[in-house]
Structure 1
């Protein structure tokens, strides 16, 4: 399935769970289920934004974007997770207020039925997206997978919480049931704060064109060092950054009279060799290889 198809699946799935969650939450007055449904509604909007962004990036426009439009991807993902972060903060404040004001009455049986349905549905979508994300280097698909991971965790938390609440109704501690719903929202919101922070941090790095993940850098530097030794270059300077699906690699080889590659033709052959070796790293690569005898130009 194409990137567009995966994103559309995410949109339809989120829309379905959003409608079910909000309607069900209003019917039984459950803040946790409303939070789950509200999260899904926001997911619909954010997934549509990802879909539009992915479509726009694919359109070629070298005149206006000579270096590509990949920077749009991390910008959209940052916006997406800023919204999710705000949702978690609002839910955190709201649940804290409810806990301090006597909790919230919820029918545990109906809530439990919703949580079973929601958990199963989320697990199915998450399984598909996780499988697809492994075979793709799309930041949008990764973001969708993380988004559904959060939704699945929400659903599991709802399931466990309302299962506990249902069991509690058969004990002498039944009066604590009113605190289960806001307590779940509080705990889930606290837990879910981490993922938006990590995603925002990582994609801000891309917008700022900072170095990619250490394993990518290590692989590139190893290949460059091998070439440096093979052709007896004096030194090499490597610069890398990753923006969206594009990996920018700039390599400057510094040579002298004893180096094994002196002509333009030999340099082009080295470029071909390095280009072939770099394919194993993946991503859409922007590879620039230069040769100089003066380190000033490296």
Structure 2
């Protein structure tokens, strides 16, 4: 099972759930159910983007995966699109949560609303199985694939399932209240649960957005930088180089590492094969080889080339 297949199936399942939710939400008159469905629609739209990005990244790694024109236009690859999609996804989820909260506050101020909780209960029970079933299925496959896009999709299924679980509890409470002396509280159940869900969901995408923007702005991952520095310092000491400069960035699943070793102008002449052997040795020490690593190692006697 590939990343692309998993994301494609997730998209289909999400659109089905969203259409089902919008239909029952309008039928029951529940703003909370409609919010849950809108959340799913945004999630599905972002998953479509994730699928496109994942496909481009995989195709760019294959020799004949892209057309000549597309490869010439994006000669550095498509890694930079992954954090952009993650940032857009997280920001959209924050916006829809803020909208849900404002809608709930306005509804409470106008005396609330009383939807058909029986229909809402049917929606909550049936979709809950789908949410947590998809989450478990994707989690099992992602233990092997280790995809950030699938991990984000798993969190989306978890958040959607949490919303539905909260809806289920609130609808049960509303049905019970209708038969008690506290029936006056029933119109407030739907907007209150919508407010609680919105407040709970709003901060969840913030770490995703923060991480995505750190990659968009090419902020150096300090742990990886420390590992690269240690390897470079050993190479400087072992081969008598004057100094080095290392530049490290993580962009989505891609790692970009550029290393410049400053050699003395009077360094004895060596063959290209000898320099390549040294590059291979340093690259092996850095590890993480593969199509998602962009590694450049330069030897120069001019500091200007390294700055």
Given the two structures, how large is their TM-score scaled by the length of structure 1? Answer: 0.86
Offset at 1:293?
4.2
- CA deviations over 1:8-58 (Å, ceiling 9, x no partner): 111111012112211121221111111111211222222222223333342
Which residue, 240, 254, 278 being the options, matches 1:246?
A: 254
RMSD: 2.9
**Does structure 1 conserve the Cα–Cα contact (< 8 Å) formed by 2:135 and 2:158?**
yes
Segment drifting more, 251-260 vs 6-15: 251-260
- CA deviations over 1:135-164 (Å, ceiling 9, x no partner): 335443233223223212212222232233
Aligned to 2:20: 20
**Does structure 1 conserve the Cα–Cα contact (< 8 Å) formed by 2:53 and 2:78?**
no
**Does structure 2 conserve the Cα–Cα contact (< 8 Å) formed by 1:115 and 1:155?**
yes
Aligned pairs (5 A) from 1:112-261 = 112-212=121-221, 214-256=222-264
Asked whether 1:68 is paired with 2:69, we answer no
- Paired residues in the alignment total 297
- CA deviations over 1:211-256 (Å, ceiling 9, x no partner): 23x4433443344344444445443322111222221001123345
Segment drifting more, 129-138 vs 148-157: 129-138
SS at match of 1:178: helix
Matched residues in 1 for 2:233 and 2:167: separation? 52
Segment drifting more, 87-96 vs 197-206: 197-206
Distance verdict in 2 for CA 1:273–1:237, change over 3 Å:
same
SS at match of 2:115: coil
Matched residues in 2 for 1:46 and 1:253: separation? 42
Structure 2: state its 5+ residue gaps: 60-64
Matched residues in 2 for 1:130 and 1:16: separation? 21
Asked whether 1:44 is paired with 2:44, we answer yes
Given the two structures, how large is their TM-score scaled by the length of structure 2? Answer: 0.84
Aligned to 1:56: 56
**Does structure 1 conserve the Cα–Cα contact (< 8 Å) formed by 2:262 and 2:302?**
yes
Matched residues in 2 for 1:42 and 1:78: separation? 13
Matched residues in 2 for 1:103 and 1:130: separation? 39
Offset at 1:81?
3.0
Matched residues in 1 for 2:196 and 2:101: separation? 8
Matched residues in 1 for 2:178 and 2:55: separation? 51
Structure 1: state its 5+ residue gaps: none
**Does structure 2 conserve the Cα–Cα contact (< 8 Å) formed by 1:108 and 1:166?**
yes
SS at match of 1:172: coil
